[in-house]
Amino acid sequence: MSESFRIGTGAGFSSDRLEPAIDLVERGGLNVIVLECLGERTVAFAHRDRMANPKRGYNAHLERRMRALLPACHSAGTMMITNMGAANPRAAAERTLAVARDLDLSGLKIACIEGDDVSTLVPKDQAFMDEPGTLADIDMPIVGMNAYLGADAIRPALEAGADIIIGGRLADPSMFLAPIAQHFGWANDDAPRLGAGTLVGHLLECGMQVTGGYFADPGIKEVPNMAQCGYPIAEVAADGTAVITKLDRTGGCVTPATVKEQLLYEVHDPARYLTPDVTADFSRVEVAAMGPDRVKISKASGSARPATLKVTVGFDGGFQGEAGVSYAGPAAQQRGQLAADIVRERMARLNGRGDLRIDLIGVSSLFATAGLRSTDAQDVRLHVTLRSCEKEDAELMLWEVESLLCCGPAGGGGFRGAIVPCVMTKSVLIPRERVNATLEMMVA
């Protein structure tokens, strides 16, 4: 059997943990580590950051991650691929270059991939991808538009011998597929193999969600040593089959159950999972335990890639205020309900401006619309949310909730309140030939 290609995850979302990533690079013997740090809304928030400061708009943890991982990757001979560039890949690459020079990593090759920003390429009245209407129907300012770039946008940087590849809206599984396909020499139209590589990417892109994270349910689904949970590794074979595993002496677990939960995570039709690279088919995937924390995946396939690329359009969504007060002990639920009624009445002076929601945490919050409530809760929290394009409306709501401390029901305490900016996103499609990914190599 020929040698497998070892690829691992060093972040599965923008704020994912750093220490296990360092451990994985130091001990994993990896060819490549991928840091996947973007969601649809993360890009929109990053655009807001960039508008406030043209030198920003990339992942807030980029510098800390690079300071820790660049030397480790350099020592281990592991290359890194990341979409931490978010709304400003160039600034992220320049920042990384400065970190590399500061660490005396001279000669380090940092590839910056751009071209995902398609804000000048999408018509103002472009129809939405999956709902009626067009961009022109939204009366909020657009903050950015980014096309999902696939493996074909990443492979030139691999061919050019990059040590670090930084992009913006690089599609999550494509960051894994690109180095696998490049290593084994798969063509960009070899759909069955690209489908197999996409499955590897799909399983790894959310980091520890496949190694026991987001899985534990005490008494039924026990996960050992979760505090020290390790990131995943895939040992990929030339035929696209792979073993999902993790480092020894890390917490978490890799079992058929953890792999299956991730297999269909955010997938609709398992036979048609669309990415920029392929229409992947996960419907016949086999999942087999091979030993402790080793699970083999096989029989993923695929057919031709879509003719269009998905574009996320981000809008400035105004502000959201959240505030709460807690009640405990006898009749806590009734006192919390009274507080809710008082706030609703006092907020009526906004005359319906903004969207208001009031929950009683402990009685009914997450499942309120589903129609489920507890009775006789002894420890409840009034939780009020208001979203408006006017920040003043959110400020008024926070004030009204705080004033319950003196002119609300008996025994309320623990007021907290905060106002955060909001974004809204919509999806549209763009013909792929209209998008041109570009590559610039920076050498430390």
Partner 1 sequence: MTTLRRNAPRIVRDIAHARAGDKGNTSNINVWAYDPDDFALLKRTLTPERIKRAFPQLILGKVARYEMPHLCGLNLVLHDALEGGVNRSLNLDSHGKSWSYLILGMALEGDERAPPNGAQDN
Where do contacts with partner 1 occur on this chain (CB under 8 A)? 41, 130-131, 214-215, 217, 220-221, 257, 260-271, 283-287, 317, 355-357, 359, 361, 364-375, 383, 385, 387, 423-425, 427
The minimum distance between CB 75 and partner 1, in angstroms, equals 36
- Using an 8 Å Cβ cutoff, are 280 and 302 in contact? yes
Q: Which is nearer to partner 1, 27 or 221 (CB)?
A: 221
Kindly report the backbone phi and psi dihedral angles of residue 400, in degrees, each rounded to the nearest multiple of 5, phi listed first: -65, -35
| Smallest distance, partner 1 to C-beta of residue 425, A | 6
**Nearer Cβ to partner 1 (23/281):** 281
Q: For residue 94, how many C-alpha atoms fall within 13 Å in the half-sphere facing its CB?
A: 9
Helices (H), 81-171: 89-102, 151-159
Residue 360: CB minimum distance to partner 1, A: 11
**Which residues have a Cβ under 8 Å from the Cβ of 182 and sit 6 or more positions away?**
155, 158, 159
Q: How far is the CB of 6 from partner 1 (least distance, A)?
A: 26
Minimum separation from the CB atom of position 369 to partner 1 (A): 5
Beta bridge partners of 289: 295
Question: In terms of CB distance, is 16 or 152 closer to partner 1?
Answer: 16
The residues near 365 (Cβ < 8 Å, ≥ 6 apart) are 359, 383
- Distance of closest approach, residue 269 Cβ to partner 1, in angstroms: 6
| Comparison of 5 and 282: residue with beta carbon closer to partner 1 | 282
How far is C-alpha 347 from the geometric centre of its chain's CA atoms? 35
340 vs 331: CA distance, rounded Å: 14
Of 171, 188, 230, 189, give the one whose Cα is nearest residue 17.
Answer: 230
Rank residues 95 and 310 by Cβ distance to partner 1 and give the closer one: 310
DSSP 306-357: PSEEEEEEEEEEEEEEEEEEEEESTTHHHHHHHHHHHHHHHGGGGTT-SEEE
Q: Which is nearer to partner 1, 345 or 355 (CB)?
A: 355
Tell me which residue has tokens 């030198």. 55
Q: With respect to partner 1, which residue has the nearer C-beta, 40 or 94?
A: 40
Q: Dig out the tokens for 370 from the structure.
A: 């589903």
Query: Minimum CB separation from partner 1 for residue 43, in Å?
Result: 13
**Closest approach of partner 1 to the CB of residue 418, in Å:** 13
Q: Which residue has the tokens 């906004």?
A: 350
Which CB sits closer to partner 1, 68 or 274? Answer: 274
Amino acid at residue number 158: L
Q: How many CA atoms lie within 13 A of 180 on its CB side?
A: 33
